[in-house]
Amino acid sequence: METTLTVCAVVATVAFVALVAQAVLTLQQIRHTAKAVEYLALNADGKLTALDPVVGAVKTVSEAVSAGWFKLAQALYGVFSRK
pLDDT digit string (tens) for 16-29? 999 999 999 999 99
Of 9 and 70, which is predicted with more confidence? 9
DSSP state letter for 67: S
This model's pTM is above 0.85: no
Q: What's the pLDDT at 82?
A: 67
Render 14-58 in DSSP notation, one character per residue. Answer: HHHHHHHHHHHHHHHHHHHHHHHHHHHHHHHHHHHGGGHHHHHHH
pLDDT digit string (tens) for 31-61? 999 999 999 888 887 777 777 788 888 888 7
Domain ranges in the chain are 2-81
For residue 79, pLDDT beyond 60: yes
